[in-house]
């Protein structure tokens, strides 16, 4: 159910709210901070002027209460001569017969393979030219997500999780779990905090996970038993590090084996409670403090973090982590990278260039921030000029036996566009485009950042609040708001356009187009049930009519995507 309620005026955060500038340092740009702030002020003031002049627009989000929400998309019965098409676009929110802007279902008949109307664009799907297998889509089980969900009444918790996992959901099948604390935690912590060395890990205590995070995972696994999980640490305990703290610093070489045993203790604690991990990453964003922009890092990164060079990753894998996992978690595989796409070639060269380290590696995870930084200011002009997806494609071609996943993305992290923005269609487009480009480049899946946040983009001990696909109507500033409703942001539907239609085991298939050149905004898949799924994003301000050919059937679909529209088409192979 789409609703026109707009009850959030009281939730607007003051201008002095903490900045969400999480990944400025990870973006490879040499723009001075004062210049960025000046640009931000100009853009913000122009946006304000336009907002004051604009007429009120229908809300581009869905507010859900217990028993009252929109349903996940369902394809229904497919006929040989027809495709089922789902469209999301801001223009669909208006009109007397509108059912809302998201996932409107239509049936489109097949037509001539060759007929092309003047002004149409064309693309050809080749179902027999199969590429990588898809493992799925999902989000991260952070402290913030688990603590926020716990504030909702139990029946609403069940409804919300049912939106994401299980047979009547949008089909999440991947998850990411931080090893101990992140900035999206109630405090800065690890499982073995203290001032003295504890090489036997006698102080190790993960009981905090038993309160909300592990119960949340257990509920998700009950709905989706085939959920695949990865784990990643943000920081070693301070006594293991060069600077003695949880922010910045690097691992002391003499503690590398203790650090590997720490991984094992985490995995064993969760396994004893029925939660196993398919992968573990060596470190979240290890390059953030080891690149040219270190000075900018020091100004902007003020939460759990740790620098690990490519050579240190290589040596830790082969000398410490792989032997430890061989003793405590044989089923858990190693991702050598969990960082920006731009850093992937350097880390791959060091790790995979070493035969001993390479034989222990299952793949890599990539983050989106190097392309999305400045996107909210400079738009597609900036995003289209980033070359980071080529690094993913090169990696997939060079090591086709390894897994590559998109492992983190979040909107609202820039100081000029911070925190949640209700109904931001720009953020739907950036999410959809990032998923599309990652999958086109060879990624096997895509994982969002926080599964859920409060309406103010937290909780976050570092004040580093961001947006999320799902927001619960509660926050620390307004405790009287009791969490009896949640909001589906447009980003939720960006994910649903993929996750609800492309199950695990699907394979990406080739799509070609002379009209679009190398940057075809269409990605297609062949599913295990022998259907074809194609997703098309129209980033333009005008209708874009697409003649989508099926090379095997020698038939074509013609549909017009509204401005800024996202379309998923499904038909029999």
> What pLDDT is recorded for position 361?
98
The yes-or-no verdict on residue 240 having pLDDT over 70 is: yes
- What pLDDT is recorded for position 550? 97
* Catalytic residue status for 224: no
Cα–Cα nearest to 158, from 73, 219, 217, 227: 219
Cα(43)–Cα(142) distance, rounded to whole angstroms? 32
For 13, 78, 88, 261, 376, the CA distances from 44, given in Å and listed in that order, are: 16, 47, 27, 49, 11
Q: For 325-359, give the DSSP string.
A: HHHH-TT-EEEEEEEEGGGHHHHHHHHHTSHHHHT
480 vs 539, more confident = 539
- Widest CA span in the chain: 75
| In the predicted structure, residue 92 carries a pLDDT above the cut 50 | yes
Q: Which residue has the tokens 């290890």?
A: 286
In the 8-state DSSP scheme, what is residue 318?
Answer: I
Q: Is the pLDDT higher at 17 or at 444? A: 444
Residue 9 and residue 466: Cα distance in Å, rounded? 18
Instruction: Tell me how far apart the alpha carbons of residues 93 and 61 are, in angstroms, rounded to a whole number.
Output: 10
Contact 476, 29 (CB under 8 A): no
- Three-state DSSP at 174 gives strand
Q: What is the pLDDT of residue 265?
A: 98
pLDDT at position 24, please? 33
Q: How far apart are CA 573 and CA 565, in angstroms?
A: 25
Cα–Cα dist 388/383, whole Å:
10
CA dist 214 and 210 (Å) reads 5
Name the band, by pLDDT with cuts 50, 70 and 90, for residue 118. Answer: confident
Give the Cα separation of 261 and 323 in Å (integer): 10
Residues 163-168, mean pLDDT to the nearest whole number: 97
67 burial type by CB count under 10 A (0-12 exposed, 13-18 middle, 19+ buried): exposed
Per-residue pLDDT tens over the stretch 457-493: 999 999 999 999 999 998 666 555 567 999 999 999 9
Residues in the chain: 573
> What CA–CA distance (Å, rounded) separates 204 from 191?
5
Residue 40 has pLDDT above 70, yes or no: no
Q: Which residue has the higher pLDDT, 519 or 510?
A: 510
Question: Known catalytic residue: 285?
Answer: yes
- C-alpha span between 341 and 438 (Å, rounded): 10
Q: Determine the pLDDT at residue 52.
A: 32
- What confidence score (pLDDT) does residue 88 get? 97
* pLDDT tens digit sequence for 243-274: 999 999 999 999 999 999 999 999 999 999 99
Question: Is the model more confident about 54 or about 181?
Answer: 181
Peptide bond into 179 cis (omega under 30): no
Rounded average pLDDT over 62-85: 96
Q: Is 475 exposed, middle or buried (0-12, 13-18, 19+ CB in 10 A)?
A: buried
- Alpha-carbon gap, residue 472 to 151, rounded angstroms: 9
* Residue 372 pLDDT class (50, 70, 90 cuts): confident
Query: How many CB atoms are closer than 10 A to CB 199?
Result: 12
Distance of CA 200 to the CA centre of its chain: 36
Q: Give the separation between CA 249 and CA 259, rounded to whole angstroms.
A: 15
User: pLDDT category, 209, cuts 50, 70, 90?
Assistant: very high
Write out the two tokens for 406.
């998109």
- Between 6 and 349, the more confident residue is 349
Share of the chain above pLDDT 90, in %: 77
Strand partners, 447: 138
Q: Which helix (H) or strand (E) holds 558?
A: strand 555-561
What pLDDT sits at residue 42? Answer: 39
| pLDDT number for residue 44 | 40
Q: Which residue among the candidates 285, 333, 414, 429 is catalytic per the annotation?
A: 285
282 token code pair: 């060596």
- How many CB atoms are located within 10 Å of the residue 100 CB? 20
Residue 362 in tokens: 């299952």
Average model confidence (pLDDT) for the chain? 88
pLDDT (0 to 100) of residue 36 = 42
Instruction: Decide if pLDDT at 522 tops 60.
Output: yes
Read off the tokens for 19.
């900045």
**What pLDDT sits at residue 55?**
42
- pLDDT > 70: what percent of the chain? 85
Rounded CA separation 122/114 (Å): 10
At residue 518 the predicted structure's pLDDT band, cuts being 50, 70 and 90, is low
The confidence score (pLDDT) of residue 49 equals 33
| Marked catalytic residue, from 163, 224, 408, 414 | 408
Angle at 272 between CA 270 and CA 274, to 5 degrees: 75
| pLDDT for 517 | 64
| 58 or 412, higher pLDDT | 412
pLDDT of residue 442: 98
**SS3 (DSSP) at 193:** coil
Q: What is the pLDDT of residue 59?
A: 75
* DSSP 8-state code for residue 288: T
Q: CA 104, CA 84: separation in Å to the nearest integer?
A: 10
Q: Which of 1-10, 298-307, 392-401 is predicted with the least confidence, judged by mean pLDDT? A: 1-10
Place of tokens 């930084």: 373
pLDDT tens-place string over residues 500-515: 999 999 999 999 998 8
d(Cα 247, Cα 257) in Å, to the nearest integer? 21
Helix 344-352, helix 388-398: angle, nearest 10: 20
């Amino acid at each position: 159910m789409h609703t026109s309620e707009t009850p959030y005026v009281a939730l607007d955060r003051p201008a002095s709210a903490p900045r969400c500038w999480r990944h400025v340092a990870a973006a490879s740009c040499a723009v001075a901070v004062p210049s960025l702030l000046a640009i931000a002020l100009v853009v913000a003031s122009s946006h304000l002027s336009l907002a004051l002049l604009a007429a009120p627009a229908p809300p581009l989000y869905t507010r859900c209460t217990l028993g009252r929400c929109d349903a996940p998309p369902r394809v229904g019965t497919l006929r040989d001569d027809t495709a089922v098409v789902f469209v999301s676009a801001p223009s669909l929110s208006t009109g007397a017969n509108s059912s809302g802007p998201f996932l409107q279902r239509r049936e489109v008949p097949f037509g001539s393979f060759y007929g092309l109307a003047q002004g149409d664009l064309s693309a050809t799907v080749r179902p027999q030219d199969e590429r990588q297998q898809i493992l799925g889509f999902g989000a991260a089980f952070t402290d913030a997500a688990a603590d926020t969900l716990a504030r909702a009444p139990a029946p609403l918790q069940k409804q919300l999780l049912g939106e994401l996992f299980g047979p009547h959901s949008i089909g999440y099948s991947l998850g990411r779990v931080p090893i101990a604390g992140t900035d999206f935690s109630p405090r800065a912590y690890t499982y073995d905090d203290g001032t003295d060395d504890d090489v036997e890990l006698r102080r190790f205590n993960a009981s905090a996970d038993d309160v909300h995070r592990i119960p949340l995972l257990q509920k998700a696994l009950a709905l989706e038993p085939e959920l695949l999980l990865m784990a990643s640490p943000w920081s070693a305990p301070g006594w293991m590090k060069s600077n003695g703290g949880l922010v910045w610093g690097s691992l002391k070489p003499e503690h590398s084996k203790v650090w590997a045993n720490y991984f094992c203790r985490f995995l064993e604690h969760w396994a004893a409670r029925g939660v196993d991990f398919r992968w573990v990453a060596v470190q979240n964003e290890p390059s953030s403090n080891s690149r040219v922009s270190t000075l900018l890092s020091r100004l902007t990164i003020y939460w759990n973090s740790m620098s690990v060079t490519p050579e240190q990753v290589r040596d830790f894998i082969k000398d410490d982590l792989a032997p430890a996992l061989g003793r405590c978690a044989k089923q858990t595989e190693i991702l050598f990278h969990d960082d920006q796409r731009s850093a992937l070639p350097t880390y791959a060269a060091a790790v995979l260039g070493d035969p001993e380290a390479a034989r222990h590696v299952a793949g890599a995870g990539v983050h989106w921030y190097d392309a999305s930084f400045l996107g909210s200011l400079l738009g597609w002009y900036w995003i289209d000029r980033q070359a980071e997806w080529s690094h993913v494609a090169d990696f997939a071609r060079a090591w086709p036996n390894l897994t590559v996943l998109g492992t983190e993305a979040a909107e609202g992290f820039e100081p000029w566009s911070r925190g949640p923005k209700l109904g931001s269609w720009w953020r739907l487009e950036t999410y959809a485009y990032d998923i599309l480009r990652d999958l086109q480049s060879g990624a096997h899946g895509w994982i969002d950042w926080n599964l859920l946040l409060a309406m103010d983009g937290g909780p976050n001990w570092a004040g580093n609040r961001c947006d999320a696909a799902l927001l619960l109507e509660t926050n620390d500033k307004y405790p009287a708001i009791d969490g009896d409703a949640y909001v589906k942001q447009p980003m939720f539907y960006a994910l649903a356009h993929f996750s609800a239609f492309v199950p695990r085991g699907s394979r990406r298939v080739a799509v070609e187009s002379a009209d679009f050149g190398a940057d075809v905004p269409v990605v297609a898949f062949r599913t295990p049930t022998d259907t074809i799924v194609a997703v098309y994003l129209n980033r333009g301000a005008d209708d874009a009519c697409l003649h989508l050919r099926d090379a095997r059937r020698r038939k074509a679909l013609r549909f017009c995507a509204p401005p800024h529209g996202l379309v998923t088409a499904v038909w029999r192979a």
